[in-house]
Amino acid sequence: MRTKRILVPAVLCLSLLLSACSLPAEEKKIRDVEYTVTSKEDLPEELWKQIKESREEEFRLSYNDGEYLYIVRGYGKQPSTGYNITVEDLYLTEHTLVFDTKITGPAEGEEKSDKQTMPYIVVKTEAMDCRIDYR
């Protein structure tokens, strides 16, 4: 009886792991999605509250107000000023909206302060109801 209690969960876990290996390859881009990088002043108040609560650690948020979808990517505390976040791509696949961002550190020789920063980026796009794949 005791062996069954251990064996059944182990078999279930193993089958889940093996089935994960057969997931479909990366989905193909259907179309690019237009967006606007949005400043703090133009954010819905509720979204700004969520960003303030989350920004000390890396985070990913989305907020849909029915008219627009706001997508947020934060990179947590950084040791100085001079960090930049760029949107590498924003596109729709059959099942997801892919939001690909990149953070770069201060450029060599760039003036910077040792003041900690918490960089994040917010983009605003058309309202849609889909899963977001942050990259």
- 31-56 residue pLDDT tens: 999 999 999 999 999 999 999 999 99
Mean pLDDT score of the chain, rounded to an integer?
A: 86
Residue 12 lies in a domain: no
pLDDT at 9: 52
pLDDT digits (tens, 9 = 90+) for 92-125: 999 999 999 999 998 888 888 889 999 999 999 9
Name the token pair of 109: 């020789």
- Residue 13 resides in a domain: no
Query: What average pLDDT does range 70-92 have in this prediction?
Result: 97
What pLDDT was estimated at residue 22? 36
- The pair phi, psi for residue 34, each rounded to 5°, is -75, 145
Is residue 9 in a domain? Answer: no
Beta strands (DSSP E) in the chain are 31-32, 36-37, 58-64, 68-75, 84-92, 96-104, 120-126, 131-134
What pLDDT, on the 0 to 100 scale, is given for residue 4?
45
- Note the pTM of the prediction, 2 decimals: 0.78
* Residue 124, domain member (yes or no): yes
Collapsed DSSP state (helix, strand, coil) of residue 33? coil
Give the whole-angstrom CA distance, residue 71 versus residue 50: 12
Domain-embedded: residue 35: yes
5-9, 14-18, 113-117: which range is least confident on average? 14-18
pLDDT greater than 80 at residue 3: no
Task: Inform me whether the pLDDT recorded for 11 exceeds 50.
Answer: no
Domain assignment present for 43: yes
Percent of the chain with pLDDT over 70: 81
**Is residue 112 a part of any domain in this protein?**
yes
Asked whether residue 2 is assigned to any structural domain, the reply reads no
Higher pLDDT pick, 9 / 80: 80
Report the alpha-carbon distance of residue 29 to residue 92 in Å, rounded. 6
How does residue 83 score in pLDDT terms, banded at 50, 70 and 90? very high
Residue 51 structural domain: 26-134
Count of domains observed in the chain: 1
